[in-house]
Amino acid sequence: MANVQIKHRYTDAVLFECEVPDEVEIGLRTRHALEKATAARADLRDANLSGADLSGAYLRDADLSGADLSGAYLRDAYLRDANLSGAYLRDADLSGAYLRDANLSGADLSGADLRDANLSGANLSGANLSGAYLSGAYLRDANLSGAYLSGAKVKNLALVGERPFMSIGPIGSCMRTVFAWLTEDGLRIEAGCFFGTRDEFVEQLGDTHGENEHAQEYTAALVLFDKHAELWTPAVVEQKVSA
């Protein structure tokens, strides 16, 4: 058996320790210990987990607020309802992670890989998402108020402007939250599994709803999205799009 310790990022105090079977790969022993700590509801605030391989870890309800997870591998990790507020996740790999209803307020996610992550209902208020990869991420009902999104990649498109994100909802037949993204290639609309240009959205809207009440509601939302794009798209991007 190997003894594994999880320590405080600032004081080096031991927050949790346990014995891990020798047959567990050395690189996965921290994951094993962290899952045990989570199950035991250990206080993991400000834990030092920088660079740890936590891929596929089951960490539901874990309190990792303020933890250093920079460069950590959290691919496909289960983090529903986890508290990651103020956590340092710079350059972390969270691709495919399940972060539904997780608290990421004030977290540093700059450069993080969030491709295909489920962030529905997550609290990302005040989070730093500069340079983060959000292609394929599911953001329904996520709170992005005050989040810093400069340079974030959405569907392989770079976000632009001081206010590159806007949402309206729930609206429509499925009571969805509809998202507008200001990208380097113009306005992009996201609604459910749809992601595309404004014109493509209008075309699909006509095919799906015709002129019914849902179409009218979405059309009204587009008016606000258009005004948002007009006010907050940088002039240099407007010139590129119109060229």
Question: What predicted TM-score, i.e. pTM, was given to this entire model?
Answer: 0.76
Cα of first residue to Cα of last residue in the chain, in angstroms, is 65
CATH of range 45-153; options 3.30.43.10, 1.10.10.10, 2.60.120.10, 2.160.20.80: 2.160.20.80
Domain boundaries, the chain: 45-153, 155-243
CA distances from 185 to 70, 145, 155, 196, 237 (A): 31, 23, 11, 11, 7
Q: What is the pLDDT along the chain (243 residues), one digit of tens a residue?
A: 889 999 999 999 999 999 998 888 888 999 999 999 999 999 999 999 999 999 999 999 999 999 999 999 999 999 999 999 999 999 999 999 999 999 999 999 999 999 999 998 999 999 999 999 988 888 878 888 888 887 888 877 777 777 888 888 889 888 888 889 888 888 999 887 788 899 999 999 999 999 999 999 999 999 999 999 999 888 765 555 555
Residue 204 has what pLDDT?
A: 93
Residue 241 has what pLDDT?
A: 53
Residue 15 has what pLDDT?
A: 97
187 pairs with which residues across the strands? 182
Q: Do residues 37 and 17 make contact, with C-beta atoms less than 8 angstroms apart?
A: no
Cβ of 224: how many Cβ atoms within 10 Å? 12
Residue 242 has what pLDDT?
A: 59
Residue 171 has what pLDDT?
A: 92
